[in-house]
């Protein structure tokens, strides 16, 4: 997959930008706060219609302006695609692929897949389970539209069930609907667990291999899927998982009513990450944390490649600055193959990156 060119209007601090890119390495350099991350964010937005650092689309629109526009020329699956997104304050964003309006973000799936690594990804190791679920969801949604649909449905059911559990003491009749919600959440939840288990099995092959190379064979990364306790084999088909989920709900029924919260289901899943047999979250050093997080992302990139036959576009934000020479060289050799966008502050580093193109960004413009 290759982003040949991009056009931005009123995206973050860009008034207007038109740029065409190398199919190999693109180095985006510039001082702090000039728009390097904003450019990577624009590429990522066209793959999932969401941003890793904006909660609401309106944050992406330039201050004082009421709309933003993005367009990319993408080569994928041996075809050319024109992807467009239009954001409006107070309105839902609109997406087009080759001029055809898309109904959901899921329809973008498979056109432009991206893997982004940024400094905040240290949270993938350090923070709570929600960060790791988000990583899993982002990856699997890009690969499997059915998963994206199930996830959206599960979130909707979860919100409604949460409302029932919150309000039932004042409105006991709400409980009439609880069994129905439990059944639908278990059915949808079973789909999520099944897909997550398969993704994690593959990630548990690829990411440790990356980490082993990265650490010169000195450290062993291991991954384990933690889901609803009654599920013995999460990779089983959803139909087989369903009874275990219903059983878990049943034994937590009273606790849910007492706590007035959803306690049973894959919205509590985690991906346990260990280094040499101990929890990375609790014990990893700064460098180990960074390496482990990068290994997860590069592992996901390899899954995408094996799944689709094409390298996803790799977006590396501020990665090199934090690594020593040996690890920098390792990253640069590991990422050969697909298209890469890499941001950095110092220009001399850009020169070591070989045959790609370098771009200099100042105040939201190419110079």
Q: Which of 3, 35, 199, 340 binds ligand ATP (CB under 6 A)?
A: 35
Distance CA 348, CA 118 (A): 21
What tokens appear for 97 in the block? 């692929």
32 binds, among Mg ion, ligand ATP, none (CB under 5 to 8 A by kind): ligand ATP
| Phi, psi at 172, each rounded to 5° | -60, -25
Distance CA 236, CA 103 (A): 31
Distance CA 309, CA 48 (A): 19
Q: How far is the CB of 9 from Mg ion (least distance, A)?
A: 21
Q: How far is the CB of 87 from ligand ATP (least distance, A)?
A: 10
Indicate whether 114 belongs to the interface with ligand ATP (CB under 6 A). no
Q: Which of 24, 62, 97, 162 binds ligand ATP (CB under 6 A)?
A: 62
Q: Are 154 and 267 in contact (CB under 8 A)?
A: yes
* β-bridge pairing 313-316 and 340-344: parallel
- Site map (CB under 6 A) of ligand ATP, residues 13-32, x = contact: x----------------x-x
Which stretch, 54-62, 106-114, 146-154, 160-168, contacts ligand ATP (CB under 6 A)?
54-62
* Chain-centre distance for alpha carbon 187: 24
Q: 12 — alpha (psi -120 to 50), left (phi > 0) or beta?
A: left
Q: How far is the CB of 206 from ligand ATP (least distance, A)?
A: 28
The dihedral formed by the CA atoms of 162, 94, 55 and 113, expressed in degrees to the nearest 10 = 100
Looking at the Cβ atoms of 64 and 172, the one nearer to ligand ATP is 64
Indicate whether 51 belongs to the interface with ligand ATP (CB under 6 A). no
Q: Which of 7, 21, 25, 36 binds ligand ATP (CB under 6 A)?
A: 36
Looking at the Cβ atoms of 165 and 320, the one nearer to ligand ATP is 320
Which stretch, 36-44, 70-78, 261-269, 333-341, contacts ligand ATP (CB under 6 A)?
36-44
User: What three-state secondary structure class fits 75?
Assistant: strand
220 binds, among ligand ATP, Mg ion, none (CB under 5 to 8 A by kind): none
């Amino acid at each position: 997959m290759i982003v040949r060119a991009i056009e931005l209007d009123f995206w973050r601090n860009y008034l207007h930008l038109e740029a065409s890119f190398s199919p190999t390495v693109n180095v985006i350099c510039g001082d702090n706060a000039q728009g390097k991350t904003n450019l990577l964010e624009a590429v990522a937005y066209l793959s999932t219609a969401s941003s890793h650092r904006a909660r609401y689309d309106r944050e992406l629109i330039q201050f004082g302006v009421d709309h933003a526009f993005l367009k990319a020329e993408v080569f994928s699956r041996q075809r050319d695609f024109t992807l467009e997104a239009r954001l409006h304050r107070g309105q839902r964003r609109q997406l087009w692929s080759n001029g055809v309006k898309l109904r959901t973000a899921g329809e973008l799936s498979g056109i432009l897949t991206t893997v982004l690594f940024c400094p905040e990804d240290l949270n993938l190791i350090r923070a709570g389970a929600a960060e790791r679920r988000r990583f899993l969801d982002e990856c699997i949604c890009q690969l499997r539209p059915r998963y994206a649909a199930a996830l959206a449905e599960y979130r909707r059911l979860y919100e409604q069930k949460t409302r029932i559990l919150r309000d039932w003491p004042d409105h006991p009749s709400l409980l009439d609907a609880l069994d129905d919600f439990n059944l639908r959440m278990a059915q949808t939840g079973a789909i999520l667990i099944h897909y997550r288990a398969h993704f994690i099995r593959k990630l548990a092959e690829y990411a440790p291999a990356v980490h082993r190379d990265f650490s010169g064979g000195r450290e062993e990364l291991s991954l384990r899927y933690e889901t609803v306790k009654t599920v013995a084999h999460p990779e089983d088909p959803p139909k087989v998982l369903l009874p275990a989920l219903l059983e878990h709900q049943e034994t937590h029924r009273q606790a849910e009513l007492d706590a007035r919260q959803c306690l049973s289901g894959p919205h509590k899943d985690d991906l346990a990450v260990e280094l040499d047999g101990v929890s990375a979250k609790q014990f990893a050093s700064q460098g180990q944390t960074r390496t482990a997080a990068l290994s997860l992302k590069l592992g996901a990139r390899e899954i995408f490649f094996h799944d689709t036959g094409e390298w996803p576009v790799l977006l590396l934000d501020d990665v090199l600055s934090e690594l020593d020479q040996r690890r920098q060289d390792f990253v640069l050799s590991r990422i050969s193959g697909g298209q890469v966008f890499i941001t950095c502050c110092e220009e001399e580093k850009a020169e070591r990156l070989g045959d790609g193109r370098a771009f200099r960004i100042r105040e939201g413009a190419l110079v």
